[in-house]
Amino acid sequence: MLYAMKLGTIETGDGSTNAYLGVRDDGQVVSALLEQTDNAALSKMAAAASGEKLYCETSLAPVGQQLGFEPASMFGWALEPRAAFAFMLARGRDAIADPNALRMLCQSAPAFLRARPWQYWTDNEPFEVVLDGARQARYEAVLMGAAGIEVGVAIYTKAGAVRRLARNFAAGRMNLAKLEDSLVVSFDTKPTFAIEALRDCYDLDLMPCPLKMRTGFPAPMEPEELALLASTLLLLGGVTPQQRKASISFGTADETTKVSIAMPEVRS
């Protein structure tokens, strides 16, 4: 069984075009296309099909039925490949290549956004993120969102980073502030096609935008670093001024890492 979907209009260097996805019922993506028209995209999918039953989302019915596609509501097994493709299109070179890491990040984010922990703690109140087990490390982290501009979390890999950042910002030394190594995830309200796909799959109304900075420049993020961000988001979704500590474990039976956070006391 093959299911055809249209994600929406995207902007490229050559102007606007449309994104389409063809997924089999085993979750395998067989067609990921950028085409100007529904007819062009569905014609290519139909030509590449290997005799399986063809379905398409109802919005593609006028064209799809002429090409042998039967209109159908979105199948559950199509949601995750659709969300992953939408995320890739939206983030471009910053997209997450590991589907498990993307899944973990998107599953953790709703709890964080619903809890709104930035209403209790500001970006001037660092907290500790501790890894124990297969990986061992200590990080400083801060919440973003109290200023009402950008929500998320920033994890700094070197001790004293938050204090150095505050000093350098106050002194106008922006070039030094940018040199702090960090793992950050913020959230965006665009593009619409990506938000719709993430909402349908993960009940997520904003798009997570992970970023790794090394010596002032963006760098590729490893799956375990994404797992750290995802775990931290999930933990932040559960802490309160009354319950300021939380922990969670991830990994395999042979290699498990425990992530713990300890939030500062809330200022009265």
pLDDT tens digits, 213-237: 998 899 988 888 998 999 999 999 9
The full length of the chain comes to: 268
**Angle at alpha carbon of residue 253, lines to 249 and 259, rounded to 5°:** 15
- The stretch 114-138 carries a mean pLDDT of 93
What pLDDT is stored for residue 79 in this prediction? Answer: 96
Helix/strand/coil for 85: helix
Which contiguous run of DSSP H or E holds residue 61? helix 61-64
Res 158 pLDDT > 80: yes
Q: Residue 175, exposed/middle/buried by CB under 10 A (0-12, 13-18, 19+)?
A: exposed
Could you state, in order of their start, the residue ranges of all structural domains in the chain? 2-73, 94-262
For residues 235 and 12, the model is more confident at 235
Which strands, in side-by-side order, build the sheet including 127-133? 217-218, 207-214, 182-188, 152-156, 137-144, 127-133, 256-262, 245-251
What pLDDT is stored for residue 207 in this prediction? Answer: 94
What pLDDT is stored for residue 108 in this prediction? Answer: 95
What pLDDT is stored for residue 103 in this prediction? Answer: 92
Res 170 pLDDT > 80: no
For residue range 20-78, list pLDDT tens digits in order: 999 999 999 999 999 999 999 999 999 988 889 999 999 999 999 999 999 999 999 99
Q: How sure is the predictor about 131, in pLDDT bands with cuts at 50, 70 and 90?
A: very high
Percent of the chain with pLDDT over 90: 68
- The stretch 83-108 carries a mean pLDDT of 87
What pLDDT is stored for residue 50 in this prediction? Answer: 83
Res 134 pLDDT > 90: no
- The stretch 257-262 carries a mean pLDDT of 94
What pLDDT is stored for residue 162 in this prediction? Answer: 82
Q: How sure is the predictor about 124, in pLDDT bands with cuts at 50, 70 and 90?
A: confident
- The stretch 9-28 carries a mean pLDDT of 91
Average pLDDT, the chain: 91
Which contiguous run of DSSP H or E holds residue 264? none
What pLDDT is stored for residue 115 in this prediction? Answer: 96
- The stretch 100-108 carries a mean pLDDT of 91
Percent of the chain with pLDDT over 70: 99
The answer to whether 113 and 187 are in contact (CB under 8 A) is yes
Prediction pTM value: 0.87
Q: Look at 42-46, 64-68, 239-243, 264-268 and tell me which has the smallest mean pLDDT.
A: 264-268
